[in-house]
Amino acid sequence: MSNEAVIQHGTVSHEVHEHHEGHHHETFISKYVFSQDHKMIAKQFLITGMVWAVIGGLMSVLFRIQLGYPDAHLPWLEDIFGHWAKDGKIQPEFYYALGTMHGTILVFFVLTAGLSGTFANLLIPFQVGARDMASPFMNMLSYWFFVLASIVMLASLFIQTGPASGGWTVYPPLSALGDASQGSKLGMDLWLISMALFVVSQLLGGLNYVSTILNMRTKGMTMTRLPLTVWAILFTAILGILSFPVLFSGFILLLFDRHLGTSFYLSDIVLSGKILPNEGGSPILYQHLFWFLGHPEVYIIILPTMGLVSEVMSINARKPIFGYMAMIASMFAIALLAFLVWAHHMFVTGMNPFLGSVFVLLTLLIAVPSAIKVFNWLTTLWKGNIRFNPGMLFCIGFVSMFISGGLTGIFLGNSTLDIHLHDTYFVIAHFHIVMGVSAFMGMFAGIYHWFPKMYGRYMNNTLGYIHFWVTLVCAYVIFWPMHYEGFAGMPRRYYDYSNWESFKQFVELNKVISFAAILSFLVQLMFIFNFIYSIFKGRRVTSKNPWGATTLEWTTPIRPGHGNWPGEIPEVHRWAYDYGKDGMDFIDQTTPVGKDESKH
């Protein structure tokens, strides 16, 4: 932290001066802790997200040890985890807790808060041309509610009965009855409280994102001149604002069922030989409420990365993004369809087959806007002067992953096939590729690309290349074989497969998958090393616009102060994608349109 101040003093003196212009003196607390500056809040989200990613990733390493080496006894596990890893073997309760928390942490804390929180905060004011968010105070609250949620969730890892262990979807009755399992006790309550705080954080953030984008644009920045990153974040924020409250309602009812004896989700249950008085409720109701968020949630994760990738790809291909309006239209279509397909997660719950077929149709329709986007990315690359820096490589990796994972989505979206594939490793493979790995790839692209804007330094390229290639190869080695396991009927969430004759064929394969998982985890640690090292020791950025980009954030000083632009906010005269136009490498958005300039 102290280095940051040193770096600032190291820059030309007038920049340091600009930093304080029009702002009262900042203390350490107001600058780094309770900051209301969107750039600092972005960094806070990013670093908190990274801490969670390491914790969540480590969990996956632990349960992959169990899956790959079910017979191994590793004494060091017992040294660390005590009775949770008795005899050096991960115990079933621990295994389920690991899986549940891995999902929760990665989906919500890393790929929702860590991703949207970082790039929405960083890029919205920069790219629309605003001094800060509409309400910097609410923005700060949004981060601190996330921290509160994080603390509660983290605390649940250390209680005697352990964290929630009923899967990240916390279906009742398992989650509604404290006596149903170890993880359904206090851990489940903390999980729900943490998620409620998380929803508040998302709401505060989302309100800010939408109103800043709609209301705070600089002069000339019409909606159709916005970079696609901002469009993507706008749709993401709207999805969050409309879907998280439904989850919130679902959680209220679940808390009632847990503690006040209501029967919203419970009916006709016998627990340990005792007939429970609950009747009339429906666990399927919870699934509807959950997936009404749960499905838009996957787009909350993937849409921002689509925006990041479009932007980074266009810059590094030195070409305008292909089909700007089609990109917006397809994101709109995806956002709309996101609300109409949730029940495709529930084909096997006994829903009316006619209703199922409606959801099949709507689900398969998402392939259309998705394909449009992929086509546009490929045509953006076509005949571009591609700069293969780590950011660009991750963009290409994103498109590769999105295609691979998207195609298997078409399998799962068919209710007839889904009956066979439901809850198998095919599903695991599908969603990890399409929203896990590809979202991470997009996020990495964003981090490598905007790191110079965040810290005034570059990340190390060599480590970046190693990071990309190892991640890409490992991701396919981990998840590709899972498709075959799923086809063979191998169910997800089982503790040990070695006793089934039909799954013995996968013993060696599971070892390979576990090995690749551990390797990919290690290479992420290398990325984090690169990140931290580069903050302090990375190569300095020497020009305002190192990538030759057109958008407004690159017109700010190298290390912009609170308020972003030292003088007036620049006026915008053109869209964000004038690359390679009229023989020019790029024309930034603040350049007025020339008289004899060609139309794009």
- Residue 169 touches other proteins, criterion: CB under 8 A: no
SS3 state at 270:
strand
> Rounded distance, CA 23 to CA 19, Å?
8
> Rounded distance, CA 511 to CA 68, Å?
4
> Rounded distance, CA 436 to CA 430, Å?
9
Please name the amino acid found at residue 454.
M
Binds other proteins by CB under 8 A, chosen from 63, 198, 292, 398:
292
Binds other proteins by CB under 8 A, chosen from 285, 365, 407, 541:
285
SS3 state at 72:
coil
- Residue 541 touches other proteins, criterion: CB under 8 A: no
- The site for other proteins, by CB under 8 A, has a size of 40
Binds other proteins by CB under 8 A, chosen from 264, 398, 579, 586:
264
The residue assigned the tokens 């570059």 is 458
Binds other proteins by CB under 8 A, chosen from 122, 153, 216, 327:
216
Please name the amino acid found at residue 4.
E
- Residue 279 touches other proteins, criterion: CB under 8 A: yes
Q: Are 96 and 113 in contact (CB under 8 A)?
A: no
Contact stretch for other proteins (CB under 8 A) within 84-92, 106-114, 147-155, 246-254: 246-254
- Residue 355 touches other proteins, criterion: CB under 8 A: no
Q: How far is the CB of 196 from other proteins (least distance, A)?
A: 12
Question: What percent of the chain is helix, strand and coil (3-state, nearest 5)?
Answer: 70, 0, 30
Phi, psi of 283 (to 5 degrees): -65, -25
Q: Are 311 and 567 in contact (CB under 8 A)?
A: no
Q: How far is the CB of 24 from other proteins (least distance, A)?
A: 20
- Residue 242 touches other proteins, criterion: CB under 8 A: yes
The residue assigned the tokens 């039909």 is 502
- Residue 215 touches other proteins, criterion: CB under 8 A: yes
Contact stretch for other proteins (CB under 8 A) within 14-22, 131-139, 403-411, 524-532: 131-139
Q: Are 509 and 481 in contact (CB under 8 A)?
A: yes
- Residue 505 touches other proteins, criterion: CB under 8 A: no
Q: What angle do CA 93, 106, 483 make, to 5 degrees?
A: 80
- Residue 236 touches other proteins, criterion: CB under 8 A: no
- Residue 304 touches other proteins, criterion: CB under 8 A: no
Comparison of 251 and 503: residue with beta carbon closer to other proteins? 251
Length of the chain: 600
- Residue 260 touches other proteins, criterion: CB under 8 A: yes
Instruction: Count CB neighbours of 529 within 10 A.
Output: 12
Q: How far is the CB of 538 from other proteins (least distance, A)?
A: 36
The residue assigned the tokens 């497969």 is 497
- Residue 244 touches other proteins, criterion: CB under 8 A: yes
- Residue 87 touches other proteins, criterion: CB under 8 A: no
- Interacting residues toward other proteins by CB under 8 A: 134-135, 138, 203, 206-208, 210-212, 214-216, 241-246, 248-250, 252-253, 256, 260-264, 277-282, 285, 288-289, 292
